[in-house]
Amino acid sequence: MEERRFALKPHDNSSGRFRLDNKGAVVTGGANGIGRAVAKTFASHGACVRILDIDREQAEATTKEITAAGGQAGTYFCDVSDHASVERVFQEILQRDRVHILVNSAGIAHVGKAEDTSESDFDSVIQVNVKGVYNCVRACLGHMRENGGGVILNLASIAATAGVADRFAYSASKGAVLSMTYSVAKDYLRYNIRCNCISPARVHTPFVDGFLRKNYPGREQEMLEVLGRSQPIGRMADPQEVAWLALFLCSDEAAFVTGTDYPLDGGFFSLRG
């Protein structure tokens, strides 16, 4: 029988729970929205955060916020859908730092049914949301395996497992993220690598505000309330609420958690009438 090395155990909490001291964390899509909240939360709990994003200006702004608050952070321009770009950036990071945690938060949304989704739109969503996760996971798995383990956290969506109207391409991409999460968790358990995902319902991010400005000019607040009421809890999630769950799942307190999808859905699955 193959021996398993699963050494992560709950650590001494004398300095506080959910600490990430001396941990290196890479957060893709860390310039805005959920990724930004994750990057700031991890840094405030002791992690040295590396933000990978295609929005260089906003990524640098987030890094400055973190360092101004006394945290450790760095910015790397990276298109996660570009294999060569990801390989280059990870090579640069890994030459200097250990990566204990990878959070795959970079992603794009798309609104449309199957026949409303052009081939180019479908390809774009898959390239970022699916291939982007593949590129980043592949770039750091060997490093984690050779250095005793690590944690990978993917951002999926309730759209991965529920029928959500007008989200054909997005749902397909997040279903793939969920499946990849299970696969990595299974294949790398013996190497002390945990892999989980979070599946949020609607989260109030800059994408939502931009979508409303574009499609409902002058009615943004009204439509924001409509979107909130569409969830049983009566509102959208705040990015910080996703970040708190991410912090737990990437901390040593979650050492027994792997291969799990965590819905953060305000009652979407269990309380819909």
Tens-digit pLDDT profile for the chain (273 aa)?
333 333 334 444 435 789 999 999 999 999 999 999 999 999 999 999 999 999 999 999 999 999 999 999 999 999 999 999 999 999 999 999 999 999 999 999 998 999 999 999 999 999 999 999 999 999 999 999 999 999 999 999 999 998 888 899 999 999 999 999 999 999 999 999 999 999 999 888 877 888 788 778 888 888 888 888 878 888 888 999 999 999 999 999 999 999 999 999 888 877 765
Query: What pLDDT, on the 0 to 100 scale, is given for residue 14?
Result: 39
170 flagged as catalytic: yes
* Annotated domain spans of the chain: 20-201+239-261, 203-236
Tell me which amino acid residue 66 is.
Answer: I
* Greatest CA separation for the chain: 65
Distance, CA of 184 to CA of 111 (rounded, Å): 29
Chain-centroid distance of CA 81 in Å reads 15
Task: Name which CATH class applies to 20-201+239-261.
Answer: alpha beta
Query: What pLDDT, on the 0 to 100 scale, is given for residue 5?
Result: 37
Question: For the segment 87-119, what is each residue's pLDDT rounded down to a tens digit?
Answer: 999 999 999 999 999 999 999 999 899 999 999
Chain-centroid distance of CA 148 in Å reads 22
Kindly provide the b/e burial profile for residues 44-66, where b requires at least 16 CB atoms within 10 angstroms of the residue's own CB: bbbbbbbbbbbeeebbbebbeeb
DSSP 106: -
Question: Which one is catalytic: 76, 134, 170, 188?
Answer: 170
Please answer whether residues 85 and 79 qualify as being in contact, where contact means their C-beta atoms are separated by less than 8 angstroms. yes
